[in-house]
Structure 1
């Protein structure tokens, strides 16, 4: 987590350190205004930045403080804002657990599926992948490579085949092979939200015929490097797909790791995983305390 947030932490610590002199700094309106401006640069948005600034004002106003004390205060407030219920994958009572993964093209969706499949395989689960983004040949090829590296089965369809058909075959394969988990990729972009909803509704219907209550999870992949744009891009997906959790990808490539705060605030969805690099093992279950410390701690 710490390595993944290195760019954001460096930018933040440099910005915040610049507020201080060797003898410390008086926490007054000027200081609080400058702190707010620097927090905004991480793309956390005005709402979360205001909460952190106001908490610092409540605790520290009128005192001369050192950098370490300010970092400790804003780390604690950030952790408080990110706290959520335990957010691992919800495993179905009867296998297979079916996971749909959605997100815009370029968000890191297919890579995140590979990492998630590897994470679950290492935890002892038998996984089947479904290459449901049939309109993008590169996605199918990439997922096939991931499946080979992990050693799990994959179901693919012909180019531009019906994604619902691939989803159905994936669940069927999971049942036939006694797999614990089926992870199904979906189209990254359709022309309109109504098309998206129709396709996802169809996928839900066909897999629901094979497995009760499926899909059990719908994970929305967001690109941390997109900052605030990730929020606007994802809003339609979130509403159309009935998402149950978020995977924040490419966190290591961004100095805008603060975007996780408005994501939690606006989507009211648990962040289940964060992508911390390009390697197959570079994914971690989200933990508020670890994230907050990695974001601010020197």
Structure 2
């Protein structure tokens, strides 16, 4: 398998990834078109205008909801607005009312409020395997952002997804830090590509109520048995990012996994 950089969304039937910024990706498996955690609005800038962490975008959206083709499935990892965005997912549902959304059972009520009361929701929790579409299996992972939190019913608040198509296996961790058992779970899934956040965490952000994610070395360690690591969750908000040069320097020194820093608006075409 190799990955080549091209322009624009992957063509239908041609495996590839298109980074939307933050944790968002358009994924073409070769059979199905998936959308995960898209944040294509300025809803957080509006919400936090005038606050300390004002959430102004460092990068414009690479496209709008109106530019998107119909996805076959939308995946949401958790209820934070840069992952479950009403100004992205609500308009998407209105454009394509038949498209199903896979969402954590822990945020079912929030998802209905933000996506639409009539949206087709597939409610999931950690340690489930499901086949939402022919030739597509999802393995649902727990995630710790920064803790393994559960709601009153025992459902995990933060999830990741293993996406298994006939010729491609992708692991998207959602927002997470390392926790006991995660590496073994990832090795058992055996992804070809790991999509991991690398914006890290620190006491200053924690004091502001901003939960953190993997530091870059932790992401590299988690992906050590995976051919490719594609970092994300950087370059969106100035108070919660990592310098892309740091990612590029790590990529120069890593042969396995091969680290590929995505660029918004650029397609990473997968050749098998």
**TM-score range relative to shorter protein:** 0.3 to 0.5
- State the structure with more CA Rg: 1
Give the TM-score of the pair, scaled to structure 1: 0.37
Q: Which has the higher strand share?
A: 2
Give the TM-score of the pair, scaled to structure 2: 0.40
Q: Which has the higher helix share?
A: 1
Q: Which has the higher contact order (CA 8 A, sep 6+)?
A: 1
